[in-house]
Structure formats: structure tokens, C-alpha cells
Structure 1
């Protein structure tokens, strides 16, 4: 009788978890969109393993001094975790000045030289923890000189903001900082999120347009303008690598408020669809 009771409890928990996942509004809406649009899954990484790097798809991002986004990048193994089917990237204070002089250290991964994405829909389901100075990002770049080759920022969240930023960069958008005639089409937008939960972020890479989504709803688009072709307005019809990284501090996000508990990005899965 005791064994039967245990089995029934396990079955009840399994059914409840299945129903909870099934009834998640963001997941359901996203799945409905995929089915309606005829998208077919061609590649995924669900991180159901013990070693992040076992698939030979991901590499750690190295530190650099020229840009804010990579000034705290570190190879420290403690910044990279796999738990409960999630890739977890951490940002935390550096506790060993002799080993690393940076005040804060962060983890990031990239598919550089291993996997590229073109003409399809890339999705990432993740949860982004917040702290003052946190700047988690999910973005894409090609093997080309910046900004000529373009940059696609699928997700950037600053501090405790209840929304994310979508942005595209190119020679054209950079020129638009000084030349008002190069500020259309609009190259950036924000989209509301569930700030304390998982969200599904996506970008559709098309020959003539980029379309951004949060939880199955389109939140931004950026189209090719044929008359501006010679100005480098739409360099995005090419293969792009994916970068996912936790970042701390910078001129855009502001200074980091001192903290002791690590801040994390939880990446449930990455999926790529095509028609």
C-alpha cells in the first residue's frame, strides 16, 4: 500500500508539472505562432548534460579592453554552470586580486567558428537576474569588421528594467548618430518582459527584414531600404554567430552597485527553425 501511495504521488506531481508547462501563456503563445507559421525545428541545444562545452558548439568569450561589454569577461570555471537543464552564466565580484585584477568577473559563451545562423528563426528561452549595473545580453555578429558586417542585439536588459532592448547596428546606423537622414528606419526598440521569470526571445533572419519577438509576439522589425543599399543600411543577409553573456558595468548601464551574491542568466534552451 505504501508503494502504491508513493507511485500515485509521483504521478500526480508529474501531471501537475506537465500541465503547468502546458499552460504557461508565453510558451503556449509562442508554440501557436510556430505551428501557424509552418516553422520546423532544425537544431537545438537544451543543455541536458553535465558539460556545457561537450557538444563542441560553445566557447568561452575572452576579455578585451576596447569595449565595455567584454571588460569583465573571464575564463573562470565558476562562472559557467549546468543545472536542471539550464546553462547558467554568472557575474560576481572578483575575490582573488592576485588571479584577476578586475573588480567584477562575468561569464559568456559564443558559437564563433563553430555554428552560424542564416535565414531562419532563432529562439532563446531564458531568465535574466537583475542588479544595479547588470547588463545581460543575447546578440549576433558575423565574421566581419564592425560595424560593416552588422550586429543584431536580440536582448539587452539594463539593471532592473521590466523590458528588454532590441537593436541593430551597421555602418548606416552609426552614421545616423550624426546624420539625421540616416535615422530611418528606426534601429532600436524596447519590449516588456516577465522580469522575474523565463521569457522566449526570438529573431527571424530574412533576406530583407529582421523581426524580433518576445513570447510569440512581434515587438520590433527592421527592413532593408533598397535606395540606401550603398550606405550599408542592411548588411544582415549573411551568417551570424551567437553570443550569450552576463555583463557588469559600462557607460550605458552605469556603475555597478556593490553586491555579494552572484547575478545569473539562466538559459533553458536555444533553438533554430527554418521553413
Structure 2
């Protein structure tokens, strides 16, 4: 059962049993954050008013080896936790998610993968511009395991990926394998999680920038629950782990270009692409271009099923200025300032 320190019931002599009140959920850091959306996973099923399942076998565009399904074998709620389960099983399903294609011929395309898993999203159920996003989770381990907590644009205002951006709150690959981190002592295990932005132009004109957060071996994120958070305001995005502010990316380091009908590119003004509404995604991928090419390389087929556990997801908006998201920042001077890239 997950720990619920935020929901202590306050009883006084003036309150009867039917007048119980709960302490409000507060952000882990900072003042002025107001809760606007959350899921504590206390119900018996995944809430369809908050989450959609993506159903496809296209490998996420990264040569991943899973089919995402809506089956209870791959995602379910139990004991106050969301379970996202990757299973080693040959599975055939639609190549594309239903809302990704418009023609019947594309909808009929099938693909087969050696794993199944789940990818949940809040698209059109929870969409936000600016805020603080907190997720408490325990991650899967092993070569090829790729859990992620991230955000995509809901409206793709500036065009296809990555003109409209991508915000990765947390990604990890190959936890508990031998690390290839050259700054770590020899023989250390992989403990890094990564915060990243994808931006620039439409692929292959895209770029990305980010930085890792390193846990100690004793506190590996595959062995323990941790809180992964992101604060997003108009001119700045910040990453946190367990209330440690470890990275900042400022607007003068990101950019967005859109491709015109004649093939030329136009740079978008202001704070593009991170000035539009985004939605949340939770998923557990297996294999793919990133995990298969680092650490021990490839995909370890043993040890399945494996799971990603999520205790809660919480979204806050800044009461000081909801239009810009500014005024509630939790800043620590030790945070790395990420440098952007130009294609």
C-alpha cells in the first residue's frame, strides 16, 4: 500500500464522523502552487476520465520492440498503485494508434512485436500550459528497459515533431546494468535518470538538450520510489528529483522552426514551441535506438514480466500568474544550466 501523508484526516471535537475533512494536497516545493489535476490511483480501475491508452505496435518511432495494448495484463491499478507491465510475448496489433491515421488502409495495417506493454496519456482529458508536474514512481531495471514520464503537444501548433516540442520529465534506460558513465567508479551500476527537451525543426531537423541526475547505488530508482517533478513557466523549464532542483533550461536556449509548403523553414517567435498546451504520458518501452546502443547493448530478454509502478500524478498551476506560470519557482543554485543546440 502506498504512503499517503498528504491525506491525513483531521478530526476535532466539533466534527462528527460525517464531517471529516482532508488536508489539501500541496506541491513538494515552493509556495503558491495550486492543485488543478491529480490521480492518486486509489480506485479499483484506471480512470477513463483521466487516462487514454494508446494501442499500436509501431515501436514509438525508435525501433522499440513492444506493442502497446489496453489489456489489463499490461496496465492496472492495485493497492494504490498504477502498474505498467511489460511482458515477453509475441503479439500482433495495429501498426498505428487510431487517431494517428485517417485512411482505412492505414488503420488496417498490422505489426508483430516480441513484447507487450502500455502507454497512457491525458490528451484532451488533461492538457496544460505551464505548471508543476509531480510523479512518484518506481522504475523497472534491466538492459533494454526504458520507462518514461513525459509530455507532448496536444495541438501540434508549430507542425510535426519536433517543431512543436517534447518535454521529458524523466527517462531512464538499462537501470542496474553496468553503467557506461565515465564519471562513475569502475563497476558501478546504472542509476541515472534524464531530463530532456526536444525542439528545433521537423525531423531530421530536430535537436535535443538535457542532463542526467545520478542516484547513489544504494538509492537506485529501480529499487525505490522517488518523486520526479518539472516546473514549466513561460521563459524557463526546471527539473527536480526528490525536491532537488538539478537542471534549468531557459528560453533563449531553445527554438522552433516550421516547414512551409515550399519546403523552406521559418523560425517561430516568442517562447515557441513551449508556449502551447501539452499533455502527460506514462509508458514502459522495451528496446529501441537508445537503450539498445548503450550500457551492455541490445535487449536482455530475461526477467519478464517487469513493471513500472506509479504512486501518484499531480499537476499544479502557479497562483501568482497563471498566464506565464511565473512567481512560484523553486530554485537551487547548484542546478545545471543546460545549453541549447542549433541544427
Fold match, TM over 0.5?
yes
2:72 to 77, 89, 109: 77
- Give me the whole-angstrom Cα distance separating, in 2, the residues matched to 1:125 and 1:214: 10
Structure 1 residue 159: deviation in Å? Answer: 0.6
Q: Point out the more displaced range, 106-115 or 65-74.
A: 65-74
Unaligned runs of 5+ in 2: 9-25, 94-109, 176-189, 257-265, 293-297, 319-343
Corresponding residue for 2:101? none
> TM-score scaled to structure 2, two decimals?
0.63
Structure 1 residue 73: deviation in Å? Answer: 3.1
Corresponding residue for 2:55? 62
For 1:246, what is the secondary structure of its paired residue? strand
Alignment RMSD: 3.1
Does structure 2 retain, via aligned residues, the 8 Å contact 1:131–1:263?
A: no
- Give me the whole-angstrom Cα distance separating, in 2, the residues matched to 1:69 and 1:57: 28
Looking at secondary structure, tell me which structure has more helix per residue. Answer: 1
Structure 1 residue 126: deviation in Å? Answer: 0.5
> TM-score scaled to structure 1, two decimals?
0.77
Looking at secondary structure, tell me which structure has more strand per residue. Answer: 2
Unaligned runs of 5+ in 1: 1-16, 23-30, 178-185
Corresponding residue for 1:169? 198
Higher relative contact order (CA closer than 8 Å, sequence separation 6+): 1
Corresponding residue for 1:191? 213
Residues paired across the two proteins, number: 240
Corresponding residue for 1:182? none
Q: Point out the more displaced range, 257-266 or 186-195.
A: 186-195
Show the 5 A alignment for 1:1-275: 34=29, 36-54=30-48, 56-65=49-58, 67-68=61-62, 72-75=66-69, 76-94=71-89, 101-142=112-153, 143-144=155-156, 145-160=160-175, 161-171=190-200, 175=205, 187-193=209-215, 194-195=219-220, 196-225=223-252, 231-232=267-268, 234-254=272-292, 255-275=298-318
- Give me the whole-angstrom Cα distance separating, in 2, the residues matched to 1:197 and 1:50: 24
Structure 1 residue 227: deviation in Å? Answer: 10
Does structure 2 retain, via aligned residues, the 8 Å contact 1:63–1:70?
A: no
